[in-house]
Structures are given as C-alpha cells and as structure tokens.
Amino acid sequence: MRLTPTERDRLLLFGAAELARARRARGLRLNVPEATALIADTVCEAARDGKRLAEAVDAARVVLGPEDVLPGVADIVTEVMVEAVFDDGSRLAVVSDPIGRDSSRAAGAGLGADAPGALLPGPAHTDPEPVVRLQVTNTATVPVSVTSHFHFFEANPRLDFDRARAYGMRLAVPAGSSVRLGPGESEEVGLVPIGGQRIAIGFAGLVDGPLDAPGAREEALRRAAACGYLGVPGEEGGR
C-alpha cells in the first residue's frame, strides 16, 4: 500500500495516541509526547467525524486534565497545533491550554509571567507583503480552505489558479490563519516565498524535498498535471 508522507504522519500520530490511551487506561500518568499525541489525535478524529474546527478544538481541550499527566507536563504542553482534514478542507487547529491549566490556576500555584517556561507575548505582526498576487477560483462543490503555511502550489486540485507562479509560495497571511473559498467563489490572494531551508515535505506529495533542487519544479508540475490539478500549463483548466 502506497501512502503519502502526510498519511504516514497521521498513522504515526494515531499509533502514539493509542499508546497514550492504553497507558492511561492502565492508570499511568502521561508524559509530554503521550499527552501531545492524544490531544492532537482528538482533533483529527473529531474532524474525521464531521465536527467543525471550533468543536474539534473544544473536544481536545477537555480530553486530559492535570490529574492525567505527570508533574510538570501541564506547564510544558501549553499549546498543541495540528493540521487536520475537515469537511471544508485542511485547517490548522491550535489548542491552547490543552490540559486545563488556565491562568487563574497558574497564579494560584505561584507561576507568574516570569516563571520558567512561561509564554510571553511578542510584538504584534502584520500580514507579510505579497510578492505574487493570483486570482483563485474554487470549482469544487464544497468550500475549500488553505492554511497560512501550506505550499499553495499543492492546494486542492479543484482550485483553479496559475500553479506555476505559485510554486514555492505560501499565503501572505499571519501564521495560523487561512483563506476560505466557497463553491464557485473567486478571490485574489497574495503569496510570499516559503522561507527557511525551503523544503516541502508532505502536503499533497507533489514535491517532498527541497523546492529549489534542480528539476524539482518541472517534476512537480508534471505530477500535478498527471493528477488532474487545475491551473497547470498545457493541461485542461491550465493557462
């Protein structure tokens, strides 16, 4: 059976969560990886059950309490982020205070803003300035959402836009946010280059490696055309 890197990651997460469930059922208190896996898997399973993003986050926020984890775990696992597939597309879920350690309890325990591991707010960020602007049309019969750091070139095949210009790009929106298009809707989006080491792993499996490697762009376009993605040059729906 052939699995994409995203599918392999999902199975790995599920296996870790099942281990956490089994250990908790034996009366053991969970460590950081176990707690994180169980919270993230709860989001993914809620999405698979058809729940909306807010409902999935709420379900994950109550799956564990301080009594379910080892001492100190609630102080470390203050936020869990996981990308899950909802009915309207992939969405980044951010579960804050996932083990029920809210600010009032932290204050009661003497854990102020200067405590070790405390999260301090940084400066406000504005949207990055787009380098490329593209007109995007959702030809699907369901809404499609694309999150901030998804490789836009590999977004839903039923989104019609200039794929070649979107190669190596992501949305010019704040981290954790997304753009949503309803069926038949068109919208202009701004894109910026993916930063860091510019390696695209997972997503739709069209790249799975360094974006700027020799021949990577051409091979990704070939794969997209073979898989029926709209907006690929020379293909139906392309430009």
pLDDT given at position 91? 84
Please tell me the predicted confidence (pLDDT) of residue 193: 96
Can you spell out the DSSP letters for 10-31?
A: HHHHHHHHHHHHHHHHTTPPB-
Q: Is residue 179 predicted with pLDDT exceeding 50?
A: yes
Write out pLDDT tens, residues 93-152.
Answer: 999 889 975 444 334 444 444 444 444 555 545 567 899 999 999 999 988 989 889 999
Nearest to 74 by CA among 124, 117, 20, 25: 117
Q: Check whether 55 has a pLDDT greater than 80.
A: yes
* Proportion of the chain above pLDDT 70, given as a percent: 86
CB burial of 70-83 (b: ≥16 within 10 Å; e: otherwise) equals eeebbbebbebebb
Q: How many CB atoms lie within 10 A of CB 1?
A: 3
Sign of CA dihedral 120, 146, 144, 3: negative
pLDDT class for 90, splitting at 50, 70, 90? confident
**Residue 1's pLDDT band (boundaries 50, 70, 90)?**
confident
More confident residue, 154 or 176: 154
Higher pLDDT, 60 or 175: 60
Whether 20 and 58 have beta carbons less than 8 Å apart is answered as no
Instruction: Take residue 140 and report the two structure tokens written for it.
Output: 């699907």
What pLDDT shows up at residue 167?
97
Tokens of 28: 């053991």
Question: What does the pLDDT read at residue 235?
Answer: 52
DSSP state of 91: E
DSSP 141-178: SS-EEEETTS-GGGS-TTEES-HHHHTTEEESS-TT-E
